[in-house]
Amino acid sequence: MSQRIVIVGGGTAGWLTAAYLAKTLRADQQGGAQITLIESPEIGIIGVGEGTFPTIRATLAALGVSEARFLRESSSTFKQGVHFVDWAQAGTDYFHPFNLPFTADGKDLSPYWLLGGRNEPFADAVTIQGGVVQAGRGPKRLSDPDFQGPMNYAYHFDAARFADFLRGVGVEAGVTHRLGKVEGVHRGEDGDITHLSAGELGDIAGDLFIDCSGFRARLIGEAMGAPFRAVDDVLFNDRALAVQVPYADPEAPIVPATVATAHEAGWTWDIGLRERRGTGYVFSSRHTDEARAETVLRGYLGPEADHLPTRLLKFQTGYRQQQWIGNCVAVGLSAGFFEPLESTGIMLIEVAAALIGEAYPFGDRGARAAAARNFNGLMIGRYERVVDFLKLHYCLSRRPEPYWRDNVATIPESLADKLAQWRRRPVSSFDFIGDLETFLPASYQYIFHGMGGQADLSETVGLYPEAARAMAAKAFGQVRAAGAEALKHLPAHRALVEAYYARAG
Ligand SMILES: Cc1cc2nc3c(=O)[nH]c(=O)nc-3n(C[C@H](O)[C@H](O)[C@H](O)COP(=O)(O)OP(=O)(O)OC[C@H]3O[C@@H](n4cnc5c(N)ncnc54)[C@H](O)[C@@H]3O)c2cc1C
């Protein structure tokens, strides 16, 4: 029998979950899931969150839309990684590419890069993507299939337009859309939610209620009382000042990566959309105040942005220790949030939506309890692991300001253990529990080496004989050659974006 799924919230979490479940659970078919989404126009959506991770491509493909429609309707551009500026110390930079590192006969090249004198940045030695980004090229050609290309990639988009796009897809796929504010959450004797009351809309009953109400956490927090685990002792940022900066020249090149620049008490994001840049300063209110943060942000943007208004966002860093209770499950900001670094917010929404889809049909109370335990184990494990990955970006910094020194002084034991080992031997896939990791070992390598993690393999030089070194040297040469070749074929990023926008379908 088809089951009723009620989603509260129409931001990225609500609409992505609704559209994904409607498509995969066949909401438009007899016997498919019945999906209702209720959102409050009065409250509105957070309207930030414009950087994504490559997983988004498979999620979009599952929605059955063309890449051109997605790009056009959500004002998207291509993202090939994150360029970190001034993080290790002022005047340094490194790139976290989405491409996996080249290998030599399946062997990790990092020890050979370390032993070979580190003549070029690690990411540039083992991938061609930094060069592609530096040359301002897109990750693919127009002739490549939708959602595929020679470079691994994700997107930047306009958050409000992305929610609109997802709404269109969701409604086409059979989601019932209701506008109204949930005022009451009613629970039965067993603690499950029986129905919601929403003013003029009346009562809305369901089998599963998905809380996508943002930081309010109207269902999972207010009604179900799921405890929140703050991680602000490790990840300090709790404020962001955002500003949208139109291009002075509408033909200006679009940078095909997020630029993340470190400052005295946080970092700025800078992402290139088609008509504007989306920028903001994420900072710790324990280390600076809003007036000073505004000065830092405006100093970064320069006088062209002096007249542009900023918007302050406050957030608490952490996650719910139970994200699925009874017949209520949280997705998006209601489940947790760290900070914009590495775009974990939308990625965790994608994972949660996929897991909910896998749990269908939800069955009786006993079956639902099993699904809840599975979901909580996997999602909470992922949230926990993300803390270490984000902290890695901060804790190797040599910057002198108190914010950065405090970051170095607060490394969780789980990360400290890894760092202690990575100083003596290469990063290994055995350092991670694969099912719980959102980021692959390669991402840890890029950040660790990019930040100048003091790896020293002198104790084990003998493990890397001359023949293997020669093979690695050849592989490094192949990377350089492939980089030069790629530039002959990949179009300028803006030209690619414009061509997609002009494409039918
Ligand atoms: C400064 C900042 C930068 C970020 N940058 C990134 C990034 O680059 N990449 C990334 O992946 N993530 C980023 N995020 C996170 C990302 O913005 C969110 O994960 C994403 O937008 C999902 O938000 P949401 O849908 O959970 O919440 P919201 O957008 O807040 O939506 C909540 C919805 O619930 C509705 N609602 C609330 N209460 C009720 C009620 N009682 N009745 C009916 N409806 C209700 C609201 O009207 C709204 O529709 C960022 C977050 C912040 C704060």
Domain ranges of the chain: 4-50+158-232+317-381, 98-139+386-489, 239-314
Could you tell me if the CB of 6 is within 6 A of ligand 1?
A: no
Whole-model pTM over 0.85: yes
What is the pLDDT at residue 316? 94
DSSP 8-state class, residue 323: S
Cβ(39) – ligand 1 distance below 6 Å: yes
How would you label 46-80 residue by residue, b for 16+ Cβ within 10 Å and e otherwise? Answer: bebbbbbbbbbbebbbbbebbbbbbbbbbbbbbbb
What's the pLDDT at 120? Answer: 92
Q: What is the mean pLDDT of each run of 10 residues along the chain (505 residues)?
A: 92 98 94 95 93 97 97 97 98 98 92 88 97 98 97 97 97 97 97 96 96 98 98 98 95 97 98 96 98 98 95 97 97 98 97 96 89 97 96 98 98 97 94 89 97 92 93 94 96 98 88
Cα 452 to averaged position of ligand 1 atoms, centre (Å):
34
pLDDT at 117: 75
Ligand 1 and 336: CB distance under 6 A: no
Helix ranges (H only) for 217-313 are 290-301
Q: Give dist(CA 107, CA 109) in Å, integer.
A: 6
Q: Kindly give the number of the ligand 1 atom that is closest to the alpha carbon of 47.
A: 29
- What's the angle, vertex CA 288, arms to CA 287 and CA 292, rounded to 5? 160
Question: What is the set of active-site residues?
Answer: 79
Closest CA to 217 of 309, 320, 312: 320
* C-alpha 336 – ligand 1 centre gap (Å): 10
CA 258 to each of CA 82, 97, 154, 254, 386: distance values in angstroms, whole numbers, following the listed order: 5, 10, 11, 11, 19
For residue 266, how far is its CA from the centre of ligand 1 (angstroms)?
21
Report pLDDT for 1.
Answer: 67
pLDDT of residue 180: 97
User: What is the separation, in whole angstroms, between the first and last Cα of the chain?
Assistant: 35
Yes or no: is domain 4-50+158-232+317-381 CATH 3.50.50.60? yes
The predicted structure's pLDDT at residue 294: 97
pLDDT of residue 475: 95
- 284 Cα: distance to centroid of ligand 1 (angstroms): 20
Please name the amino acid found at residue 363. Answer: G
Nearest CA to ligand 1 atom 38: 213
